[in-house]
Structures are given as structure tokens and as C-alpha cells.
Chain A
Amino acid sequence: MQNEFVEARKSEFEELKQYIDTVRNSQGILMQTLQKAQDIFGYLPLEVQQFISDETNIPLADIYGVVTFYTQFTVEEKGKHKIGVCLGTACYVKGSQEIMDKLSEELNVKVGATTDDKMFTLEATRCLGCCGLAPVMIIDEDVYPKMEAKRVAEILKKYSN
């Protein structure tokens, strides 16, 4: 299988192969291989799943099944910045839905989608476990504790370049 994607990402495929070589002889390696692959590529397009299938002899159907089962795996490329709003119970009762609505309005995207300019992906995250700081918004690695909807616009500006 040769296509543009495979050609363009040769070195990444090589990196993935090297990883698979280190775990090849262990049991139950699919989850960790997919996690590694997503680390490398940022997402798991069919080409990557096919490559893993070829390397590990796990049927592509099984791989696709696993990829689509777990919420952390994605088959679509994400934006440059990932915005997560925690919709865990503690955050929800403290109004994280309002923050989500505001972000959705400001960025003009639906939850789970990426802006047209590929700058932002807006996601609802599962509980991040910092319930004491609820409601929590997270952009890439930056955590915004005790978030308020009125701060959304100003914070987004910081990431817009």
C-alpha cells in the first residue's frame, strides 16, 4: 500500500516500526501500540491502522474495532490546539456547560469538531480528577482552574497565533 500519506510520513512509520519491534513478542500489545502510534502521528488514519495490522498480524477489522471503541483514539486529524472542558459531575454542577457553550459560540464549532482553520479542536473531556478546582478547562497542557465563561474570549486570544 503506497500512497501520499505513507510517502510523506516515512520517518514516522519507521519510528512506529521500531516501537513495534520492542513489544512484538509480548502479549496484548494492541492498545499500547495504538497509543504510541497516536503519539507519533497525532491521529490514527486507516494507513496507520493497516500498517499496524501488517506488522502485528492483528486483523484490520479488530484494530478498527478497538480504535473506534475507545474515546481517546481518533481517526481524524485534530487542530493545532486542543481545548478540553471537563464535563465531569463536579465541574458540571459548577457550570462547565456554560463554558463549553461559550467556547462553541466563540470558535463557531460544535463539540468534538475542529475549526476550519485547523487551529482549535473543542472536546468534552472525561473527569480530569481536579474536582477541587472545578470547573476546569484545559488547552493543550495548560490547565485553567475555576474557569468562568466571561474569560473565554480573552484566553483564546493567547492561542490564536
Chain B
Amino acid sequence: MKTLDNLKEIREESVTNLEMKNVDNAIRVVVGLATCGISAGAKPVLKTLAEEAEKRNMKNVQVVQTGCIGMCTYEPIVEVYVPGKEKVTYIHVDSEKALKIFEEHILNGNVVDEYTIGSDEVKSKESKDEEEHTSLMDVQFYKKQKRVALRNCGIINPENIYEYIATDGYMALGKVLTEMTPDDVIKVMKDAGLRGRGGAGFPTGMKWSFAAPNKADQKYIICNADEGDPGAFMDRSVLEGDPHAVLEAMAIAGYAIGATKGFIYVRAEYPVAVQRLHIAIDQARELGLLGKNIFNSGFDFDIETRLGAGAFVCGEETALMQSIEGKRGMSRIKPPFPANKGLWGKPTVINNVETLANIPQILYHGAEWFKSFGTAKSSGTKVFALGGKITNTGLVEVPMGTTLREVIYDIGGGCPNGKAFKAVQTGGPSGGCLTKDHLDIPIDYENLTAAGSMMGSGGMIVMDEDNCMVDIARFFLEFTVDESCGKCTPCRVGTKRMLGILEKITQGNGTMEDLEELETLATSVKDGSLCGLGQTAPNPVLSTLKYFKDEYIAHIVDKKCPAKHCKPLLTYEINKDKCTGCTLCARKCPVNAIEGTVKNPHVISQELCIKCGNCFSVCRFGAVEKN
């Protein structure tokens, strides 16, 4: 590939192949094969469909894998595209259903209604318009979304570079290398106002402009794919569903700052992503889109992957660079910033996966296009991973400025099983919990920070009335204690002390003085830590203390856990009126704490009870009450 025209020719051909324009009665069947899909059993489904097509030697049927379709709850998902017809989305597909779909739909052209997304609960909740939905794009889940970073996820085959090219892939790189100067590129990025999607929200164009003027024999671009925030998986999804977008963006960044080498630092917990990256890098090299003299511009760029080994702190840029260098991932003081002294002391730009995935789009469509989404200070879209107690778990991409309510209720469908919404946790271990009073906040970097949480990488965990907020704070502290690299004493020791206090409270031994102590410690840890991990570690505690202080007080003063979660604070009692004296609970009690005779109400001895909950779960009459 030497010129932009070459690429355009390949694009034409790829579009023809992707849309199967030269094929009569073309049918394209895609199976979602990201980690979620594979875990839910998508591989045998793909195999069945591919075998059926092959067995009949059907040249008009394309069976391919794709990345994350986005609606994890419904995996494995199969989508059938017939030109000129509405796409059909099948959910919870297994090999048996796949066979039926093949025979009914693909061979005979009859949609198998009972397996489509329209057949599920989605319909019953959302079919106010009385219309039958068979396609995913029509359901409420997708209506409010705008897909920029995820635009190809769930649509193209990530292991085929030509499908990426068919969707204008590498056009931005071609345009940048043949028509723009590095300064032009940086200007577009600054104008677009893209901010770091890894959490901190630093303007990407600005970051590049710091590194560009530095003179050095070598500069580096690093893709931060160490997505450690538990509950966030958009970076995995991009890498698995559209890896070339990341490679293209890194090459563009390389050109902008004058770097010729890129590293992708990716979590070892993401084997599928790593494998697809390797395939993508090989394909890009083969077509000359990575390597020497790309587009005959004299610009060289190549990319290598580096695997993490399970350390959350390595998502922090200075720690990440230490890890690539083969050392313990411990953060260091800034300045010098990586743009001046980064990897092996050379100027380095580090961008997160989702940030990078936006870049080819920005360069291809222009800054104005990108700014047409989002708010004045936070342009574009943001991907959120909806998880926890929410009906539609999955990945959603919405314009900045969308409210939490729209994301959680309109798209996410609210809490399942009729439970009451209690809180939403954003920003992972660095963020905080927000309450129902915050639901109408338009989401952007500043608003979330002002409310006591943060954007973070985009994990959004919903909690309902059964989740104890003190225990959630304890859970996050346990995580940070584990993941603190140990360099700064306030973080290493301070978080441990905070965890100790939280454990004391959840066990019912807390005092009101402990709450003051927690706040004092939180301030010290925030002030005395070098990197983001320590500086933000107290956030989950501070935000729960701020918004759910009554729960802390209930644990301390009343010795009760309002969410009935903290075991040491629970009591199990038998309701005499409901107990039939069946003796089941007494037989299942491991410590013989239940007394009673057949057909007479039983009694639990509070002294002997170890609160294992066996009696509660075995009772068929709802007679055991948890308080």
C-alpha cells in the first residue's frame, strides 16, 4: 500500500465483500465472540452455523465472528443480515437454537420469532409502541446511544483487516500522512477537545503538544490497556471488537509527536484481546500500514504488545512505564512528565484505549463533527460499563451530558426484581457512590467530580437496597490495600488502617470516634500519596460517609445493618405464627442452635447461632426472619 488511492481501491473491494454485493441471496450471520460471548457459550454456536453452511456448500452465506455486541445479558447473540431487510437479533442462542435458526431463517427465510430479542422481557417492558422488534438497534437500549469508540464493535470481524478498511479504516491515517503536518494533527485534536477516557480527563491534544517539540533520538507512544478498574470492560471490548482502530490511532499519534515505536500494555487477564491484537498487528504490517515508510510518507511506525501481570497500580502512567521496563510497577514523582521523560527516559505519550479509538474518527470527520456530541467542556461520547443490580448489563456509549437517570433507567432498565435503587458507583476504586438525588446530573468530568465521585474509566455499578454501603466502602478499601504498591507510607499504611476501622464497624464494634478518625486518615492518604491510586483511594469512603452516614451510624449505634448484609449484625428468628414445626431447619443447623419438637414452633438460640443462614434458606414457609 503506497498511496491513499491504493487504500481507497481496497476499501471499494472490501465494501463489496462485506456487503456481499456480488452475491445473489446474500446472508451474513455474525456471532458475538468477545469474552462475554465466549463465556456464555458462543463458540459452539459459531461452529454449528459455520458447519451447516459448509455442509451445504452455500456460497451466499457468510458466517463470521464479531466483537462485543454490547448487551451482555443476552449473550450468546447471533445477528442475521439480509440486504434490504431489517437486521434480526437472536439472543441466548445455543447450538440447538442455532440449528433451528439456520433451518428456518437462513434456509427458508422465516424469522424464528421466539428466539429474537423482541421475544424477551425487553419487549414486555418497552413495547409501548406495540411494535414487534426483532433488531437490537430498535430496542430502548440502543436508541439513546451514539457509537463512536464502539462503532465497529459487534459489526465487523475484528480478525479481518479488510472489514475494518471497508468501514473507512486507515483512511484517517492515510489522510494524516499524505495531507497534514504533525502540527495540523495536533491542532485538530486540540480543537476537538477530546479528553482522556482513562479517567483523569486530560486533553489529548494538549498532551501531544507537550511531547512534540521535545528533541530526542527516540520517542514512544504507549497504549494503556491495563484496564484494572473492576467493573469496567470497554477497553477490552474495543480491543476485542475493533483492534485496528487502536493501531491506526497509535500511528497517528506517533506521526503527531515524532515517535516511531509504540507499545500496547495490556492486562494478561484479557487473553482474547491479546490474541486479536497480535493478529491485527501482523495484518497491518503485511499491508504496509505499520512498518517502514507508511503511505510513502517517510514515516516509520511499529507496535509491540507488553503483558501486565496483575497489578492495578500499573494503570498509572509512571508505574506502567516501570513495568514495561521490566521493573516493579511503582509510580514516581511528576514532573518530569512522561511527555518529557517517559519510557527509558525518552519523551512518551500514553493514551488509553477508548481515547485512542476516538482518534481516527476525529481525524477523518474533523473536530467540528466530534464537538457536535457532548457538552462544551466534555466533547464527544463516553462508554460506560453498566453492571451490578441493573436489568440490562452491558456496554453503552452515550454523548457526554446524558443524565445518570437516562443511562440507568432508560437504557439500563433500572434495578431488577422490583428492588429499590440505592446508589450508583462510578470511577471504580477511585470514585464514589452517588445517590438518587444525583440521577439528573448530566454526566461529564466536572459534574461527577463536583458530586464527590469521578468519571474514571467508565465503570458504573448499580446498587440496590440489599447492598450495604459500609460494606461497599470496605470492599474498595480491601482492593486498594491489596493494590497499593507500597511506596508512599500514607497509602500503604493509611489505607490499611482505614480498612481496619471499616472492618470493625461492619462487625459491629465501631464507635462514633472511628468516623472522625476515618475522615482524618482519608485526608492524610489523599495529601500524602504520589499517584492517583493513593490520592483517590479514600473516595469510596468519603462519598459513602457523605451520602450514607445514617448507615454508618446504624452499624455503630444501633448495631444493625439496614441492608441486612453484614453478618455479625444480623439475627435470625423464627416467626411462631408461620413455623409449622417441620424440623427441617433444626436438622440443617450445623451447630444445633434450633430447638423444638415436631409440629410445634421452633426457637433459635441466639447464643449458639453462628448466623450461617442455613435455616433461612431451607425454610419453605418463610418462617425464619432475618433482622
Binding site for B on A (CB under 8 A): 27-32, 34-35, 58, 62, 65-66, 69-73, 87-90, 92-94, 125-134, 136, 143, 145
Question: Does A28 contact B35, Cβ atoms closer than 8 Å?
Answer: no
Could you write out 26 A-B pairs with CB less than 8 Å apart? A27-B344, A28-B344, A30-B327, A34-B309, A35-B309, A66-B327, A66-B328, A69-B329, A69-B485, A70-B311, A71-B311, A72-B310, A87-B230, A88-B230, A89-B230, A89-B388, A90-B230, A90-B461, A93-B472, A127-B231, A128-B35, A129-B233, A132-B394, A133-B36, A133-B72, A143-B39
Question: Does A129 contact B393, Cβ atoms closer than 8 Å?
Answer: no
Question: Does B269 contact A125, Cβ atoms closer than 8 Å?
Answer: yes
Total interface residues on B, CB under 8 Å, equals 51
Q: How far is A32 from B73 in the complex, measured between Cα atoms in Å? A: 35
Chain B residues, CB < 8 A from A145? 39-40
Which listed residue, A65, A72, A125, touches B328 by the CB 8 Å rule? A65
Chain A residues, CB < 8 A from B233? 127, 129-131
Q: Does B428 contact A (CB under 8 A)?
A: yes
Chain B residues, CB < 8 A from A70? 308-311, 329
Chain A residues, CB < 8 A from B232? 127, 131
- Flag the segment in B127-135, B318-326, B358-366 that touches A: B318-326
Chain B residues, CB < 8 A from A125? 269
Question: Does B328 contact A69, Cβ atoms closer than 8 Å?
Answer: yes
- Across chains A and B, which 9 residue pairs bring their CB atoms closest together, nearest first? A132-B72, A88-B230, A30-B326, A90-B387, A70-B309, A129-B233, A127-B230, A71-B310, A143-B39
Separation in Å of the B7 CB from the closest CB of chain A?
32
Q: Does B75 contact A (CB under 8 A)?
A: yes
Separation in Å of the B536 CB from the closest CB of chain A?
15
Separation in Å of the A39 CB from the closest CB of chain B?
11
Closest to A92 in B: B475
Q: Does B227 contact A (CB under 8 A)?
A: yes
Q: Which residues of B258-308 are within 8 A (CB) of A?
A: 268-270, 306-308
Question: Does B35 contact A32, Cβ atoms closer than 8 Å?
Answer: no
Separation in Å of the B395 CB from the closest CB of chain A?
8
Q: Does B256 contact A (CB under 8 A)?
A: no
Given contacts A89-B459, A127-B269, contact A69 B388 (CB under 8 A): no
Q: Does B454 contact A (CB under 8 A)?
A: no
Question: Does A129 contact B35, Cβ atoms closer than 8 Å?
Answer: yes
Question: Does B324 contact A126, Cβ atoms closer than 8 Å?
Answer: no
Q: Does B102 contact A (CB under 8 A)?
A: no
Q: Does B312 contact A (CB under 8 A)?
A: yes
Q: How far is A131 from B324 in the complex, measured between Cα atoms in Å? A: 27
Question: Does B310 contact A31, Cβ atoms closer than 8 Å?
Answer: no
Chain A residues, CB < 8 A from B39? 130, 133, 136, 143, 145
Chain B residues, CB < 8 A from A65? 328
**From A28, A125, A127, A143, residue with most partner B Cβ within 10 Å:** A127
Chain A residues, CB < 8 A from B29? none
Q: Does B389 contact A (CB under 8 A)?
A: yes
Q: How far is A134 from B35 in the complex, measured between Cα atoms in Å? A: 13
Extra A-B contacts (11), CB below 8 Å, given A66-B327, A93-B467, A130-B39:
A27-B344, A35-B309, A69-B329, A129-B270, A131-B72, A131-B231, A131-B393, A131-B459, A132-B75, A132-B393, A133-B393
Closest to B235 in A: A129
Chain B residues, CB < 8 A from A72? 268, 309-310
Q: Does B463 contact A (CB under 8 A)?
A: yes
Q: How far is A102 from B463 in the complex, measured between Cα atoms in Å? A: 23
Separation in Å of the B34 CB from the closest CB of chain A?
9
Chain A residues, CB < 8 A from B476? 89
Given contacts A30-B326, A69-B329, contact A132 B36 (CB under 8 A): yes
Question: Does B73 contact A69, Cβ atoms closer than 8 Å?
Answer: no
**From A87, A128, A131, A145, residue with most partner B Cβ within 10 Å:** A131
Q: How far is A143 from B270 in the complex, measured between Cα atoms in Å? A: 13
Q: Does B382 contact A (CB under 8 A)?
A: no
Chain A residues, CB < 8 A from B269? 125-129
Q: How far is A108 from B231 in the complex, measured between Cα atoms in Å? A: 29
Q: How far is A132 from B233 in the complex, measured between Cα atoms in Å? A: 10
Closest to A29 in B: B326
Q: Does B155 contact A (CB under 8 A)?
A: no
Question: Does B307 contact A130, Cβ atoms closer than 8 Å?
Answer: no
Chain A residues, CB < 8 A from B475? 89, 92
Chain A residues, CB < 8 A from B243? none
Q: Does B228 contact A (CB under 8 A)?
A: yes
Question: Does A133 contact B309, Cβ atoms closer than 8 Å?
Answer: no
Chain A residues, CB < 8 A from B467? 93
Separation in Å of the A37 CB from the closest CB of chain B?
12
Question: Does B75 contact A133, Cβ atoms closer than 8 Å?
Answer: yes
Given contacts A126-B312, A129-B236, A143-B39, contact A89 B387 (CB under 8 A): yes
**From A28, A72, A134, residue with most partner B Cβ within 10 Å:** A28
Q: How far is A127 from B306 in the complex, measured between Cα atoms in Å? A: 19
Q: How far is A136 from B269 in the complex, measured between Cα atoms in Å? A: 14
Q: Does B425 contact A (CB under 8 A)?
A: yes
Chain B residues, CB < 8 A from A28? 306, 324-326, 344
Q: How far is A94 from B475 in the complex, measured between Cα atoms in Å? A: 13
Chain B residues, CB < 8 A from A88? 230-231
Q: Interface digits, B426-459 against A, CB 8 Å rule (1 contact, 0 not)?
A: 0010000000000000000000000000000001
Q: How far is A65 from B329 in the complex, measured between Cα atoms in Å? A: 10
**From B231, B311, B459, residue with most partner A Cβ within 10 Å:** B231
Given contacts A65-B328, A69-B328, A126-B269, contact A89 B425 (CB under 8 A): yes
Separation in Å of the B25 CB from the closest CB of chain A?
35
Question: Does B230 contact A71, Cβ atoms closer than 8 Å?
Answer: no
Q: How far is A2 from B326 in the complex, measured between Cα atoms in Å? A: 27
Question: Does A132 contact B387, Cβ atoms closer than 8 Å?
Answer: yes
Question: Does A31 contact B461, Cβ atoms closer than 8 Å?
Answer: no
Closest to A141 in B: B271
